């Protein structure tokens, strides 16, 4: 099949990584794949000038930034401006996939020649993606796919009875892996640092400070997509890795005694699986797929959303527990990731697209016969 993905900016984010993985999976199965995204918004002149005066350099975002597609053999076209796609932007094909609420309506308006219209809905609630804006997109005549039962339940709460396929994310077991290991020589925890409130980084920062009252030498790692998240240097005492390559991530995960997942709202939470595949137990808030993943085989613990003290107690517990007990958590975390691969997910995703295509063709045939 000829498949087109319609993206917003192809930024360094988990949902974009998932699209890049499915693109590879589809190409591996003989399909033609094209990715179409909007350019990164350019900063205003005032913002550039302020940055230049402060740092004596132009804003980093003014130049092209790497994406997950750069390392892959995927046809990726960036539009000339941040605007909705039109028929002129999209090749004729069999499937065209909206991947963000702002792309759903433009995809719905495309001609039938661009393909059967599918909507992959991976998240809600982040800035610019409020629930009130998403609900109307769920009512469009698009074939719906999402990534967790939590999101299916959310859709059905507002659009009862809507057919929705569920395809849970997996993890690249060749990339994210580590041999059986012991705890770090220096107690270490890590997390993905994003300043958006929904990501809960403030919870982690407070929890680490509390934990350091009992573990003064606690090492604190983080990685993220910006050199200066939120326009300011990372907090003091944090070892921050900017925009690590996929091949570097496994070493970050595998250097930790526990991985911290603190989201207030999340569609899935891919770092949970990546850390677990690297044999790192996870301390997680109940967002996205965290409850089902962390509780699956006991590869970590759950803590309340707004309770840094509880997260701190969990940090102290994992960093001070005996090696034998920690290894039980580590092995359980790893086991959680082994029964369902990206190849499995690719099979399910391909089958879902075929089902969408066949369903549309059956409806067209029925209308012709009528």
pLDDT single digits (tens) 83-115? 999 999 999 999 999 999 999 999 999 999 999
How far, in Å, are 46, 95, 149, 151 from residue 288 at the CA level? 38, 27, 9, 8
Token pair of 306, please?
């707004």
Work out the pLDDT band at 51, boundaries 50, 70, 90: very low
| Predicted local distance difference test score (pLDDT) of residue 369 | 72
Same domain, 350 and 316: no
- Residue 332 pLDDT > 90: yes
Same domain, 22 and 162: yes
- In the chain, the DSSP E strands lie at 2-6, 32-37, 75-78, 95-98, 116-121, 143-146, 164-166, 188-192, 219-224, 239-242, 258-261, 282-284, 300-302
Residue 175 is assigned to a structural domain of this protein: no
Calculate mean pLDDT across residues 250-272.
Answer: 94
Same domain, 196 and 306: yes
| Predicted local distance difference test score (pLDDT) of residue 365 | 78
Residue 12 is assigned to a structural domain of this protein: yes
Q: What is the phi/psi pair of residue 3, to 5°? A: -125, 130
Cβ contact 166:152 at 8 Å: yes
- Residue 59 pLDDT > 50: no
Token pair of 19, please?
């699209």
pLDDT greater at residue 297 or residue 143:
143
Residue 153 is assigned to a structural domain of this protein: yes
Same domain, 195 and 239: yes
Residue 117 is assigned to a structural domain of this protein: yes
State how far the Cα of 69 lies from the Cα of 343, in Å rounded to an integer: 19
Same domain, 322 and 354: no
| Predicted local distance difference test score (pLDDT) of residue 314 | 98
Same domain, 72 and 145: yes
Residue 180 is assigned to a structural domain of this protein: no
Cβ contact 261:269 at 8 Å: yes
Residue 288 is assigned to a structural domain of this protein: yes
Same domain, 319 and 357: no
Same domain, 124 and 217: no
Residue 178 is assigned to a structural domain of this protein: no
Task: Residue 161: give the domain boundaries.
Answer: 2-170+341-369
- Residue 195 pLDDT > 60: yes
Same domain, 99 and 246: no
Token pair of 214, please?
């009992």
Q: What is the pLDDT of residues 208-223, one digit of tens each?
A: 999 999 999 999 999 9
Domain count, the chain: 2
CATH number at residue 66: 3.40.50.2000
Cβ contact 219:186 at 8 Å: yes
Same domain, 138 and 212: no
Residue 358 is assigned to a structural domain of this protein: yes
Cβ contact 280:262 at 8 Å: no
The residues near 344 (Cβ < 8 Å, ≥ 6 apart) are 170
State how far the Cα of 84 lies from the Cα of 70, in Å rounded to an integer: 23
Same domain, 240 and 260: yes
Work out the pLDDT band at 267, boundaries 50, 70, 90: confident
Same domain, 36 and 120: yes
């Amino acid at each position: 099949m000829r498949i087109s993905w319609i993206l917003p900016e192809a930024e360094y984010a988990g949902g974009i990584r998932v699209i890049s993985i499915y693109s590879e999976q589809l190409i591996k199965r003989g399909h033609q794949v094209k990715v179409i995204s909007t350019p990164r918004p350019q900063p205003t002149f005032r913002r550039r000038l302020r940055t230049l005066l402060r740092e004596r350099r132009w804003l980093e975002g003014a130049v092209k930034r790497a994406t997950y597609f750069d390392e892959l053999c995927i046809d990726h076209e960036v539009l000339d401006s941040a605007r909705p796609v039109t028929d002129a932007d999209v090749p004729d094909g069999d499937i065209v996939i909206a991947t963000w609420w702002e792309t759903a309506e433009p995809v719905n308006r495309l001609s039938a020649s661009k393909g059967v219209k599918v909507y992959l809905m991976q998240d809600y609630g982040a800035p610019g993606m409020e629930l009130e804006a998403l609900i109307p997109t769920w009512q469009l005549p698009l074939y719906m796919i999402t990534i967790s039962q939590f999101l299916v339940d959310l859709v059905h709460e507002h659009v009862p009875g809507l057919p929705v396929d569920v395809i849970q994310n997996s993890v690249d077991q060749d990339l994210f892996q580590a041999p059986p290991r012991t705890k770090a020589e220096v107690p270490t925890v890590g997390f993905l640092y994003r300043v958006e409130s929904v990501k809960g980084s403030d919870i982690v920062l407070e929890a680490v400070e509390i934990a350091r009252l009992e573990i003064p030498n606690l090492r604190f790692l983080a990685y993220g997509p910006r050199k200066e998240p939120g326009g300011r240097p990372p907090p003091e005492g944090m070892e921050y890795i900017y925009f690590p390559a996929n091949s570097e991530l496994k070493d970050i995960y595998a250097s930790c005694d526990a991985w911290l997942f603190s989201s207030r709202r999340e569609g899935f939470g891919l770092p949970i699986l990546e850390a677990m595949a690297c044999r790192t137990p996870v301390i997680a808030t109940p967002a996205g797929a965290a409850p089902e993943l962390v509780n699956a085989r006991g590869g970590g613990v759950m803590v309340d959303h707004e309770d840094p003290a509880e997260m701190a107690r969990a940090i102290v517990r994992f960093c001070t527990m005996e090696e034998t007990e920690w290894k039980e958590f580590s092995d359980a975390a790893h086991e959680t990731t082994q029964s369902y691969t990206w190849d499995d997910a690719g099979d399910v995703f391909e089958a879902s697209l075929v089902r969408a295509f066949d369903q549309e063709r059956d409806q067209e045939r029925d209308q012709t016969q009528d």
